A and B are shown apart, each in its own frame.
Chain A
Amino acid sequence: SSSCTFLNVTFLYCDENVCVCVQTTIMAVEFDGGVVMGADSRTTTGAYIANRVTDKLTPIHERIFCCRSGSAADTQAIADAVTYQLGFHSIELDEAPLVQTAASLFRDMCYRYREELMAGIIVAGWDRRRGGQVYTVPVGGMMTRQPVSVGGSGSSYIYGFVDSNYKPAMSKEECLKFTAEALTLAMERDGSSGGVVRLAVISEQGVERQVILGNQLPKFSTV
């Protein structure tokens, strides 16, 4: 098998002109009292859309979720492993785990196996110590906390939009609108992103999930 890199897309496995690679657009924003996470819903195998209604927002613990980008298999395996470790840790400590702990576990795995893995993950959630937090763990295995983070192949197209439209201390509704718009713009321009927009809001009260279908997406004049 050979590996070739083209723009943001890295082919992990090539056999008889069929390449298994998954790219996406994912995003998470902190607000006072929680986080808003969003993702598109397209999984591709080359040019074929293998799943047009994927759920890329995976629960790791009651109030900690992760957005997965990169290889579907790799990110699912990592998320399963971290879910197990975090669950064990939480029972040992007899209290809800910290988002930072979950992000550290992701980082340890992504860094240790960086040669074998292709995974860009955004970990976001709420804990009682520091409230809503977003940690990004891109390919290579770095970990850093950011108030707003985007990832995946479609993220390149929306950095300008995010940088100019993000304001600190936004409310929950403003964050939802901001995330939906950013994802819509990315989905319009990136071939590997599309489908519906899946959103999740995590706060002390729990998790609320929503789906914005194709015809309900925000409309922009040029698209």
Chain B
Amino acid sequence: MSSIGTGYDLSASTFSPDGRVFQVEYAMKAVENSSTAIGIRCKDGVVFGVEKLILSKLYEQGSNKRIFNIDRHVGMAVAGLLADARSLSEVSREEASNFRSNYGHDIPLKHLADRVGMYVHAYTLYSAVRPFGCSFILGSYDEDDGPQLYMVDPSGISYGYWGCAIGKAKQAAKTEIEKLQVDERKTCRELVKEVAKIIYIVHDEVKDKAFELELSWVGEVTKGRHELVPKDIKEEAEKYAKVRNRSSGDSHNKSSLQHGLLSYFCPDRNPWRRRMTLMRITCKQCCKPLFCHFTDCVPCFRHPGNSQLYCRQ
């Protein structure tokens, strides 16, 4: 991460000496600053979950949605610059609509992902424009092709997945998705709860306070149409997620620590305290403050509930 592209990062039409296009990589960093979105494919459909951070209490509830309907049977969950994502959702809608108008049937998802990927890629070729600062996950369900899930990133490549995550907590989310071991036996209804749980797990309560969970699905349960999950099912999923989040034992240790912290506040008297900026670290599960010890200048945290020492990483 330390390589700075001085001079080679001013436009997307310039390569660096080690063969990278920095503008595209910076665009991907913009995606990593945004909150998480995940999509998981199961036996009979696809479920999307988005952690939509609420920056102000004055916002109307449900505004600035991050899940879009591209066609009747296709949904898109985005991460990154929302304005860029909106513009790309319009482009995707046009592609899907033109396809139907020319060929008389629903666009296959792989084709849509390729076409939108081509469009995104075009903006990485010229210095007059900047690359799109958003990644998005496309999902659809079709009787013949089954459930499909594709992700497009700012470089314009599209990947097919059975489970993927984008945004700031994508690594943690990917770990959780892999733990799920989504196999052919899960249905959409079960998966909705798991998706809600994953979003609640990866949500960082210290840095980002309030968030709204957006859930949507497309599958046999919706007869192939992409829809927001109905209110009652969503409430049930959120309840499940909150309970599981609080009581899950195995994530009581390292995953409760936040990555990338630079400063600590130690409740017990510590000679380093005066030199550090204040930031309280709390355990995500039980919300108790952790005790901070320094061992060879490496900060370690101790959970009040048990006596083990946990290192920062």
Contact = CB atoms under 8 A, between A and B. Distances in A.
B102 interface: yes
Given A104-B102, A104-B104, 11 more contacts: A89-B103, A92-B111, A98-B105, A100-B104, A101-B104, A101-B105, A104-B103, A104-B105, A105-B103, A107-B104, A129-B144
Contact of B102 (A98, A103, A108): A108
Interface in B94-117: 102-105, 108, 111
Contacts, number: 20
A100 B105 contact: yes
Interface residues of B, number: 7
Nearest to B104: A104
Interface residues of A, number: 12
B103 A101 contact: yes
A93 B104 contact: no
For chain A, what secondary structure do more than half of its interface residues adopt (helix, strand, loop), or is it mixed? helix
Contacts of B103: 89, 101, 104-105
16 contacts: A92-B111, A93-B108, A93-B111, A98-B105, A100-B105, A101-B104, A101-B105, A103-B104, A104-B103, A104-B104, A104-B105, A105-B102, A105-B103, A107-B104, A108-B102, A129-B144
A98 B142 CA distance: 15
Contacts of B111: 92-93
Nearest to B111: A93
Which 4 A-B residue pairings sit nearest by Cβ, starting from the closest?
Answer: A104-B104, A101-B103, A129-B144, A100-B104
Contacts of A108: 102
A107 B101 CA distance: 11
A92 B103 CA distance: 13
B73 to A, nearest CB: 15
Contacts of A98: 105
B83 to A, nearest CB: 30
Interface in B76-93: none
A186 B144 CA distance: 40
Contacts of B108: 93
Contacts of A92: 111
Contacts of A129: 144
A92 B99 CA distance: 12
A98 B108 CA distance: 12
Nearest to A143: B104
Contacts of A89: 103
B97 to A, nearest CB: 14
B261 to A, nearest CB: 47
Contacts of B144: 129
A146 to B, nearest CB: 16
Interface in B143-168: 144
Interface in A121-178: 129
A23 B143 CA distance: 41
Interface in B163-221: none
